[in-house]
């Protein structure tokens, strides 16, 4: 059977087809020569190649480095967005979900403001008393 890539033989000649075994042996010989060439590389040359490879990896890592703060902010945005979508599905609409969030924030705000207001009132009273004491002490000392 003739190969599609073989030249047709002239009318009286028989084509000299290479033996399959010869082609195999040629391929093995080429492979051995290539392996020998690679094994003759000097240790310095191999070290230079490995250094260049590692340097390239380090540069790529530096180029792809991201900010942990940015990653945290993105995570918070995703979590808040997911929570809002959950509330919208649970309450039937985004406006109902938003109302739930507003009510929750109002409760938290009121509970957080109570101690602050109490502390501010106490601080104001203390400053007022201190001012009156200064007036009394200043008035009695100069008469």
pLDDT digits (tens, 9 = 90+) for 124-133: 888 888 888 8
Residue 80 within any structural domain of the chain? yes
Tell whether 59 and 82 lie within a shared domain. Answer: no
Residue 78 or 28, more confident: 78
Last residue of a domain, one of 10, 34, 65: 65
pLDDT digits (tens, 9 = 90+) for 32-78: 877 766 656 677 777 888 899 899 888 888 877 778 898 899 999 99
Residue the block writes with tokens 């400053």: 127
* pTM listed for this prediction: 0.35
- pLDDT of 76 reads 95
Residue 11 within any structural domain of the chain? no
Least confident of 11-15, 103-107, 113-117: 11-15
To the nearest whole number, what is the mean pLDDT of the chain?
78
Give me 112's structure tokens: 């957080």
Q: Which residues constitute the domain of residue 101? A: 66-138
Split into its structural domains, the chain has a count of 2
The span from the CA of 85 to the CA of 77, in Å, is 12
The span from the CA of 101 to the CA of 91, in Å, is 11
Tell whether 76 and 61 lie within a shared domain. Answer: no
Give the HSE-up count for residue 39: Cα atoms under 13 Å, Cβ half-sphere. 6
What is the mean predicted confidence (pLDDT) over 76-89?
90
């Amino acid at each position: 059977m003739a190969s599609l890539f073989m030249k047709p033989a002239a009318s009286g000649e028989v084509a000299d087809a290479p033996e399959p075994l010869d082609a195999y042996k040629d391929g093995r010989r080429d492979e051995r020569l290539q392996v020998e060439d690679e094994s003759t590389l000097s240790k310095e040359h191999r070290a230079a190649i490995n250094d260049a490879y590692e340097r390239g990896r380090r540069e790529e890592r530096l180029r792809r480095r991201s900010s942990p703060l940015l990653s945290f902010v993105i995570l918070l945005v995703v979590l808040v967005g997911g929570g809002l979508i959950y509330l919208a599905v649970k309450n039937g609409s985004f406006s109902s979900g938003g109302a739930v969030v507003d009510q929750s924030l109002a409760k938290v705000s009121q509970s957080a403001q109570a101690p602050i207001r109490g502390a501010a009132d106490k601080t104001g009273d203390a400053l007022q008393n201190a001012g009156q004491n200064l007036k009394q002490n200043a008035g009695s000392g100069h008469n």
